[in-house]
Structure 1
Amino acid sequence: MQDRPVDFWPRSLPRHLTVPATNLVVNLDVSAARYPDKPAIIFYDTPLTYADLKHEVELAAGYLQAECGVERGDRVLLYMQNSPQFIIAYYAILRANAVVVPVNPMNLTEELRHYVDDTGACTIFAAQDLVKQVAPLVGSGLRHVLVATYSDHLTRPTDLDVPEFVAAPRRAVEGAGLVPWGDMLARGCHPGALVAGPDDLCAMPYTSGTTGLPKGCMHTHRSVMYNAVAGVQWFGAQQDSVALSVLPLFHVTGMQGGMNGPIFIGGTVVLMARWDRDTAAECIRRHRINATQLISTMVIDLLSSPRIDVYDLSSITRLSGGGAAMPDAIAQKMHDLLGIDYVEGYGMSETIAPTHINPPERTKKQCLGIPIQDVDARVIDADTLRTLGIGEVGEIVVHGPQVMLGYWNNPQATADTFVDIGGKRFLRTGDIGKVDEDGYFFMVDRLKRMINASGYKVWPAEVEALMYRHPAIREVCVVASADARRGETVKAVVALKDGFAGRVSEAEIIDWAHQNMAAYKSPRIVEFRDALPKSATGKVQWRALQGS
């Protein structure tokens, strides 16, 4: 592990972190025993106590086992927006000794099909507005669809601006295998013994890459537990912490910082289904929220509000995030307004959130931070694997307790992603960075073709694979295009098949893509070309198209 000056390590933290050697669901059991009547979740002003949260988790877990036949190690899909039901389903899957596979609710049927096929999952938790995407897959893999209505957990009046899809009343559920959430709970099932331990699989978030379809990152209860504990302890959070959780819970940053970490300490999560700056500001004022994770685009949106001078954000003592660097001017504006610094961190699906965080007392702007406890992070020469010195640019590699076991059903991708250095197994991040004289890591570039659109990672290879299903497309290359609001947006350079020129327009391709893939990854720009530039070996030269 690279030496760091002691002055830059958070003074209250040891260098080593001991975490519970248990199933993650035990964290909920402990907090429910300690704080049964305390709100675990506040959802648009409706509280859910720890005792009630645990009760619903037990009933859902019992149903998974008794009625869905879920057994130890089975994968169960979780396909919802942020909601109490997401958290209940997540912990119910673990209580049933199974493995959570979170799915972006923006994904459409064909994208969802890959998750079903790859995991072998027979059961899915889905929100009622997403059932139409799930229904075509029932009978061809999926057998059980447990349908949640978000408004079931809106039991108190509120003047907050509740999104329409959250406030929507319960609709009738019809079709083979579809079971309403209320019927699931009414069945009154209770789960058997908790037998999955720290080295069993816990969660399997999917990530894409430079080639092929998304890959499942295999995380054990031990690796998920590590970052759930590390995140809250890095910031000194405790049982009376109140956190605003608005980052998507299906993504590892929101999952750990906005759900698993607070549940570990017995804190309260004020949950929003979707970002809205005025609602977020009012929740901060109303519930005296002291901590939140926001990506840079959310902070920019919040601080650009014409009502910023009337917001009461005085309770906030920590605002952190990652995914994209925070612009200097916005960071300064935030500091001037709140008197605190934006704390940036760095992590991946493969590391179930952070491997690096800035020390809260000594942050650096547009910086990944320093490696957290028990993490050995280095910058290496990607060809020779030699560890580079201060200021030298190379690939960031990480070794630590939160690193995944590997990719599900993909030994070749696993082998390609890990490298042995001095007898240690390091994850190759694909990110190009450098280390300064104080041990802080900075991002310089990416080896991988990744587009960062409003904090969402878009992998061109996945978008290209979906676009090739269009009957008029002969060749396609997906690249990033600068965008004032999103930072980057998705652009597709397309060569049409013979006979389609003049018959298919750019707008028609854009509309088709929007109908067949999640909105955040759907190309906003399409450019037609007669042919795509290729290397001598026939590979499309995407870098030549990047700035076009």
Structure 2
Amino acid sequence: MEKAWYKVWPKDVPQHFIFEDKVLENYVEEHARTNPDDTAVYFYGKIITYGELADMYLQLASQLHARGVGKGDTVALYMENSPQFIIAFLAVQRLGAIAVPMNPMFKRAELSHLLGDAGPKAIFIQENLLAHLCPILPEFPGLRIISTALTDFAPDHPEFPMSFAPMERTISRLPGEERILELIHYDDPIPPANACLDDTAVLQYTSGTTGMPKGAELTHRNIVANAFSFRDGVRTKPRDRHLSAMPLFHVIGLVNCMGSPLCNGGAIMLFHRFVPDVILEAIHKLQIQHWVSTATMNIAVINHPNAANYDLSSLSGCLSGGAPVPKPIFERFYEVTRTRLLEGYGLSETTAQITMNFMENARVGSAGIPLMDADIRVVAIDDPNVEVPPGQQGELAFKGPMVMKGYWKNLEATAAAFVDGWFLSGDLGHVDEDGYVHISGRKKELIKSSGFSVFPNEVESIMHKHTAIKEVCVVGVAHDYRGEEVKAYVVLKEEAIGNVTEQDIVEWAKEHMAVYKYPRKVEFLNELPKTGSGKLLRRALYERANQIQKT
């Protein structure tokens, strides 16, 4: 039977992938041969062409190979956004080795867990992060250290304010430590390409909000599939300019902001981190066409006091992920940018998006339709073997070329994540009659109030209609009578601070939603806790709310 979403599928987008026998690095090398002078990476005014990028990563691959790194070995990338991250990632791919992107905000305990689990032969590391590595180095004898400074590839005269500055190194050079800048200037023979589509390419560690992070094994096929699904979904072309302010260590940044432009011969307009003033000015001056963001970034842009002073009309394809986007944010985004925001949905385990809204037939309030060759089913919350009918809430389960192999060295977790080949996402939602996916929230975040199911995202979407609310997060709090009641953590817009009370918000919510659903408690915060990729840490607020309740 034909899938429901094929009724709304764009006519000029293929429904199925035809994979060439190429991984991401092969596409980059090909662009370097055919269009060597095209811009591959822009970094605050520093331009690296495809020809230059290939020269650097191929020589780095040669030096890694000479130091014993080969097919199937793991290599850690403990760096913030920088050209060095891209160069190192491609060098690892060339050898058929496995890249392990690591959150640069991780400290000693988290770093020790990831290094112990992934077992890398080498680590690319920023100099200012060595202080976290040095105390645990005795645990990892033989680990090769290749260091870099953020300023190594920064221009002498930046075109935009940089969110970093030269830092004096506080740790002496370690025994055996080498530097990326030294290794890329050798002139040794280049090792042959050694990666196949179904080899593991990346260990993408999950956020770890419900326990220690697990390494999702993503293959080269996974990465290529989603790199091209993004291309087709937002209509990117060779030489298009892609804003890259998402962290590259995160799967969205890795695949959509880096992998997709590189596969398609685009230009990565790379920024160290998201700074609203800088990003608005960059879109205006550089005439950027594509931007992948999170709801947090969208909110920062539309609430920026000077947003109207920038010409953002060059934007043509903007994808938002990481969390559902409330409808008022969509509307305001269009007012500010004059382009539509497209929402998608995915996880580390699905190599970023597995559903998204295409440029044609986008449906606001949904996470779009399954991508090429992807399939979805909605299963009962208490029994993953039972499929529920369209329109009914359940847990989302997926198949497709973007779904991971499994969890690295964790057969038990892998077995728990799959049922008859379907990946259980842990997210709740439903699929409508046209195949559009609607996300309700995490299975573990479902609030049961007076016997009713309350979906946090639904409550948050309604609360975003309040003119004083900038950001909101809803959690369940234990209650003797109701089982749980709803609590909202709210960040007010600047002009509302001091003019709106927590009780005002409660009374407004009481008028706008069902009695079991509205937040009985509201607490104002200066900001909501988030991960390094901008994803809301709902678990931290849940624990805070329930600890306060116990007290």
Alignment of 1:37-436 (within 5 A): 37-67=37-67, 69-141=68-140, 143-165=143-165, 167-168=166-167, 174-208=173-207, 212-382=211-381, 383=383, 385-420=385-420, 425-436=421-432
- Separation of aligned partners in 1, 2:543 and 2:387: 42
* 3-state DSSP of counterpart to 1:73: coil
- Separation of aligned partners in 2, 1:390 and 1:342: 26
- Separation of aligned partners in 1, 2:169 and 2:64: 22
Q: Structure 1's 159 and 240: CA in aligned 2 closer, same or farther, altered over 3 A?
A: closer
* Residue deviations 1:175-218 (CA, integer Å, cap 9, x gap): 12322222222444444222221121111101156754211111
* 3-state DSSP of counterpart to 1:283: helix
Q: Which amino acid aligns with 1:33?
A: R
1:446 matched to 2:446? The reply is no
* Residue deviations 1:407-427 (CA, integer Å, cap 9, x gap): 11100000000001xxxx110
- Separation of aligned partners in 2, 1:55 and 1:176: 28
Q: Shift of residue 365 of structure 1?
A: 2.4
Q: Shift of residue 221 of structure 1?
A: 1.2
Residue of structure 1 in register with 2:521 after alignment: none
* Residue deviations 1:339-394 (CA, integer Å, cap 9, x gap): 32210001111111111001222222232110011001111114152222121010
* 3-state DSSP of counterpart to 1:13: coil
* 3-state DSSP of counterpart to 2:93: helix
CA contact (8 A) 2:427 2:442 kept: yes
Q: Which amino acid aligns with 1:218?
A: E
Q: Shift of residue 483 of structure 1?
A: 4.1
- Separation of aligned partners in 2, 1:392 and 1:525: 28
Residue of structure 1 in register with 2:23 after alignment: 23
CA contact (8 A) 1:244 1:269 kept: yes
CA contact (8 A) 1:23 1:221 kept: yes
CA contact (8 A) 1:432 1:447 kept: yes
* Residue deviations 1:151-183 (CA, integer Å, cap 9, x gap): 121234124110124x54778851123222222
- Separation of aligned partners in 1, 2:303 and 2:435: 33
Question: Normalised by the size of structure 2, how large is the TM-score?
Answer: 0.80
Structure 1, 271-280 or 327-336: larger mean CA deviation: 327-336
Q: Shift of residue 31 of structure 1?
A: 1.3
* 3-state DSSP of counterpart to 2:444: coil
The alignment of Structure 1 onto Structure 2 pairs a total of residues equal to 478
Q: Which amino acid aligns with 1:41?
A: V
CA contact (8 A) 1:356 1:368 kept: yes
Q: Structure 1's 121 and 6: CA in aligned 2 closer, same or farther, altered over 3 A?
A: closer
CA contact (8 A) 1:95 1:191 kept: no
* 3-state DSSP of counterpart to 1:294: strand
Q: Shift of residue 129 of structure 1?
A: 1.3
CA contact (8 A) 2:357 2:367 kept: yes
Residue of structure 1 in register with 2:483 after alignment: none
Question: Normalised by the size of structure 1, how large is the TM-score?
Answer: 0.81
Q: Shift of residue 485 of structure 1?
A: 7.1
CA contact (8 A) 1:227 1:353 kept: yes
1:482 matched to 2:489? The reply is yes
Q: Shift of residue 433 of structure 1?
A: 0.5
RMSD between superposed Cα atoms in Å = 3.2
* 3-state DSSP of counterpart to 2:367: coil
Identity among equivalent pairs (%): 32
Q: Shift of residue 71 of structure 1?
A: 1.6
* 3-state DSSP of counterpart to 2:386: coil
Q: Shift of residue 525 of structure 1?
A: 7.5
1:35 matched to 2:31? The reply is no
- Separation of aligned partners in 2, 1:24 and 1:85: 17
- Separation of aligned partners in 1, 2:225 and 2:444: 27
CA contact (8 A) 1:151 1:170 kept: no
Q: Which amino acid aligns with 1:335?
A: Y
- Separation of aligned partners in 1, 2:389 and 2:550: 31
CA contact (8 A) 1:23 1:196 kept: yes
Structure 1, unaligned runs of 5 or more: 458-478, 487-512, 529-541
Q: Structure 1's 546 and 348: CA in aligned 2 closer, same or farther, altered over 3 A?
A: farther
Q: Which amino acid aligns with 1:25?
A: E
CA contact (8 A) 2:235 2:317 kept: no
* 3-state DSSP of counterpart to 1:115: helix
* Residue deviations 1:525-546 (CA, integer Å, cap 9, x gap): 7989xxxxxxxxxxxxx98989
Structure 1, 288-297 or 357-366: larger mean CA deviation: 357-366
Q: Which amino acid aligns with 2:284?
A: R
- Separation of aligned partners in 2, 1:323 and 1:134: 29
Q: Structure 1's 522 and 4: CA in aligned 2 closer, same or farther, altered over 3 A?
A: closer
* 3-state DSSP of counterpart to 2:334: helix
- Separation of aligned partners in 1, 2:542 and 2:370: 40
Q: Structure 1's 81 and 520: CA in aligned 2 closer, same or farther, altered over 3 A?
A: farther
